[in-house]
Homo-oligomer: A and B are copies of this chain.
């Protein structure tokens, strides 16, 4: 890990170094704390006082480093995607077949959504985000787009599987993708209510039985 965001290359540091007093706190570490707080309590319920206390800084420092509460939340979302989406989507991207990809997605979700040992809140920050529409329409639209992106990702992989012949042409790609998204979203709610990894893995197993039955022949409908 790097210290306080200082860059390694020497020439760039000398050129880009600002003239005045450097920041006294680790911006990345503070962002990590803010991310966990937003992740745990949501946008509205997390106050500036909560954030400054968890980050160990005063409010002017917060507004100097990040522009506003909303901008900080957007950065927290990026931090979350950069640090945690790999746990869920890593094996999905590397899988050889769509079935393996989805199975990895659900199993890895079961593990990641319940991984509270290192201080992470249970459930997915994006799925559980309940930013109310009124007054924060921009954030709400951003969250909806993030959730829609997951559905697009699933549909793209399923379309590829149909094109490659892994899945029959009669597969209802949209319905199957939405089914996977439904299970993954529901797992976040169960995780927040205290369900453990093994319990969610069992849910994933039954979901994969639905996948198999649906993709076996004409969709089963």
Inter-chain CA distance A208–B221, complex, in Å, is 10
Give the complex CA separation of A134 and B50 in angstroms: 11
CA distance A144 to B193 in the complex (A): 7
Within 8 A of B (CB), among A160-199: 172, 174-176, 178-179, 181-187, 189-190, 193-195, 199
How many copies make up the complex? 2
Residues of A within 8 A of B (CB): 41-42, 44-45, 127-128, 130, 132-134, 144, 147-148, 172, 174-176, 178-179, 181-187, 189-190, 193-195, 199, 202-203, 205-214, 220-221
The chain B residue sitting closest to A172, CB to CB, is B202
Q: Which residues of B contact A186 (CB under 8 A)?
A: 181-187, 189
Cα–Cα, bound, A187→B203 (Å): 15
A45 touches B132 (CB 8 A): yes
- What is the CA–CA distance of A221 and B198 in the complex, to the nearest angstrom? 14
Which 4 A-B residue pairings sit nearest by Cβ, starting from the closest? A210-B210, A186-B186, A182-B186, A175-B202
Query: What is the minimal beta-carbon distance from A209 to any residue of chain B, in angstroms?
Result: 4
Chain B residues contacting A179 (CB-CB under 8 Å) are: 202-203, 206-207
Which of B41, B203, B209 touches A134 (beta carbons < 8 Å)?
B41
Q: How far is the CA of A85 from the CA of B221 in the complex (A)?
A: 28
The CA of A195 and the CA of B148, in the complex, are separated in Å by 11
